[in-house]
């Protein structure tokens, strides 16, 4: 595949990159493995300083770094800046927490003195998507850099410049060569890398298609894997929801990042008595978006990331409509050269509609009317996915009880989905397995090494 930076706002080809040879890949693997051996069992103080330095550089160069992402995959410049800021926060968090997370854990046993300690495992491979080009890398990079697992990165073919910019910041912060190696490789080389005996595991964020392929290969090679896949997240508006709060949150919960977020609220499940008012409110908000250059700070809805992204989304909307869904708002062509998609609201999606159980990756909201809370929970759980969910209710204890009944990895009550370094991120069912961020994410690729000393 070709690694190319093409601005989705105006389709200008900004940069192309050459794939690397198998020989070069072999050298990079050898160098990464050598670094693992050098780091193994050693102190972490220097890496802590470097990780803080990475955070400092990211904050200092926020707008330049953000511009790389915006020109490459189209997100609004303010969203890109917020992503850089989040990356800096993740770096600081793991730099500060690593010592505590790495402390040996004493074990209670009559057999003697026992504890387990968390050790590095070796070279970790990550395969990442384009929708959060820096954040996805940082979720894996920051904890594993502190653990001492050197990393190799295969980024999406449409975000190579973001990958290069990230690696460059790591290098300039003083990290040893091979701490993070960017690979311009094809899928066969992805398979080779996973199979290589120096690689101990693979962390993938992406679609079910790539997740299944990478996990199958990892399984065949007895390698650990973690999968952060797609979602079709429900946004449940209960009887006692404060609709003023819903109004402030719901539109952006769907259309921020041009709707291309795994945890975006994609299915709005609304009690019958609030259904019409909610639809009107969402339509009003969607009709006010300003499409345009994502570098312009007045623009409120960015283009999609690529021509393929737009084509696929249009196909899904067409199929939904052909199978009985109604367009409540939107789905009109946008008269701009970039990959723009008008915010769209679909209703009357029945369970036999093929789009009922598919992720739509763009600014398309589906809205469902329900007559009871039981029906809302049942509908929310009737999905192949199980990533995140949102509940709006003024009875917080009750909302928590509803959360307990949802088959998702995360629930956000009276607020939009979010991601913070100290909160574990991940899903169940076809949304994947494993968690990133927080201590759970830190532990994803460590050897929990038991040490038992016999009694004298």
Residues that bind ligand NAP (CB under 6 A): 1, 127-131, 154-157, 187, 190, 205-207, 209-210, 213-214, 228-231, 262, 359, 361, 387, 425, 427, 431-432
Retrieve residue 436's tokens.
């990133």
446 touches 147 (CB < 8 A): yes
Q: How far apart are CA 75 and CA 225, in angstroms?
A: 29
Please indicate whether residue 375 is annotated as part of the active site. Answer: no
Query: In this complex, which beta carbon is closest to ligand NAP, that of residue 133 or of residue 292?
Result: 133
Retrieve residue 261's tokens.
């977020």
Query: In this complex, which beta carbon is closest to ligand NAP, that of residue 312 or of residue 405?
Result: 312
CB 281 to ligand NAP: min, Å:
26
Q: How far apart are CA 38 and CA 177, in angstroms?
A: 12
CB 134 to ligand NAP: min, Å:
12
Neighbours of 322 (CB within 10 A): 11
CB 419 to ligand NAP: min, Å:
8
Query: In this complex, which beta carbon is closest to ligand NAP, that of residue 71 or of residue 154?
Result: 154
Residue nearest to ligand NAP (CB): 206
353 touches 323 (CB < 8 A): yes
CB 359 to ligand NAP: min, Å:
6
Q: How far apart are CA 419 and CA 50, in angstroms?
A: 23
Query: In this complex, which beta carbon is closest to ligand NAP, that of residue 115 or of residue 433?
Result: 433
Please tell me whether residue 303 adopts helix, strand or coil conformation: coil
Query: In this complex, which beta carbon is closest to ligand NAP, that of residue 279 or of residue 437?
Result: 437
CB 305 to ligand NAP: min, Å:
8
∠ CA 177-71-288, nearest 5°, is 140
CB 344 to ligand NAP: min, Å:
18
Retrieve residue 366's tokens.
């589906």
Q: How far apart are CA 219 and CA 123, in angstroms?
A: 17
Retrieve residue 113's tokens.
């003195």
140 touches 204 (CB < 8 A): no
Retrieve residue 159's tokens.
């975000």
- Nearest 10 degrees: CA dihedral of 214, 219, 221, 225? 60
141 touches 151 (CB < 8 A): yes
Cβ neighbours of residue 386 closer than 8 Å, sequence gap 6 or more: 231, 407, 408, 409, 427, 428, 429, 430, 431
Please indicate whether residue 262 is annotated as part of the active site. Answer: yes
390 touches 411 (CB < 8 A): yes
Q: Say which of 87, 262, 359, 436 is annotated catalytic.
A: 262
The pairing of beta strand 224-228 with beta strand 432-433: antiparallel
Please tell me whether residue 225 adopts helix, strand or coil conformation: strand
Retrieve residue 237's tokens.
């508006």
- Nearest 10 degrees: CA dihedral of 379, 281, 300, 339? 50
Its sign, for the CA torsion 36, 37, 39, 43, is positive
Positions marked catalytic: 228, 262
């Amino acid at each position: 595949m070709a690694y190319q930076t093409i601005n989705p706002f105006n389709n200008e080809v900004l940069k192309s990159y050459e794939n690397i040879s198998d020989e070069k890949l072999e050298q990079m693997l050898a160098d990464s493995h050598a670094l693992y051996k050098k780091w193994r069992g050693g102190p972490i103080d220097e890496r802590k300083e470097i990780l803080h330095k990475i955070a400092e550089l990211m904050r200092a160069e926020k707008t330049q770094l953000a511009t790389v992402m915006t020109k490459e995959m189209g997100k609004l410049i303010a969203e890109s800046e917020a992503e850089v800021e989040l990356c800096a926060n993740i770096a600081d968090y793991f730099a500060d927490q690593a010592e505590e997370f790495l402390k040996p854990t004493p074990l209670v046993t009559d057999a003697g003195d026992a504890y387990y300690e968390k050790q590095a495992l070796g070279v970790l491979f990550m395969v990442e998507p384009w929708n959060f080009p820096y954040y996805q890398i940082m979720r894996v990079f920051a904890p594993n850099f502190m653990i001492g697992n050197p990393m190799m990165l295969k980024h999406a073919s449409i975000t190579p410049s973001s990958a290069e910019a990230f690696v460059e910041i790591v290098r300039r912060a003083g990290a040893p060569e091979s701490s993070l190696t960017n690979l311009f490789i094809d899928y066969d080389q992805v398979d080779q890398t996973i199979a290589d005996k120096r690689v101990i595991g693979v962390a993938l964020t992406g679609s079910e298609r790539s997740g299944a392929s990478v996990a199958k290969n990892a399984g065949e090679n007895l390698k650990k894997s973690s999968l952060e896949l797609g979602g079709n997240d429900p946004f449940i508006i209960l009887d006692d929801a404060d609709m003023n709060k819903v109004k402030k949150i719901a539109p952006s919960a769907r259309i921020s990042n041009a709707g291309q977020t795994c945890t975006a609220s994609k299915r709005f499940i609304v009690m019958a008595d609030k259904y019409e008012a909610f639809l009107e409110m969402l339509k009003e908000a969607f009709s006010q978006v300003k499409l345009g250059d994502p570098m312009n700070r007045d623009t409120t809805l960015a283009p999609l990331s690529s021509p393929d992204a737009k084509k696929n989304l249009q196909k899904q909307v067409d199929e939904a409509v052909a199978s009985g869904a109604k367009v409540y708002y939107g789905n009109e062509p946008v008269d701009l050269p970039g990959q723009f998609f008008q915010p769209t609201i679909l209703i009357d999606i029945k369970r036999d509609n093929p789009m009922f159980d598919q992720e739509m990756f763009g600014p398309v909201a589906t809205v469902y009317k329900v007559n009871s809370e039981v029906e809302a929970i049942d509908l929310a759980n009737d999905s192949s996915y199980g990533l995140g969910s949102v509940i709006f209710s003024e009875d917080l204890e009750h909302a928590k009880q509803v959360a307990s009944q949802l088959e998702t990895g995360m629930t956000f009550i009276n607020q939009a989905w979010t991601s913070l370094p100290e909160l574990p991120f991940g899903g169940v069912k076809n949304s994947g397995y494993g968690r990133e961020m927080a201590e759970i994410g830190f532990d994803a690729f460590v050897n929990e090494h038991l040490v038992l000393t016999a009694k004298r």
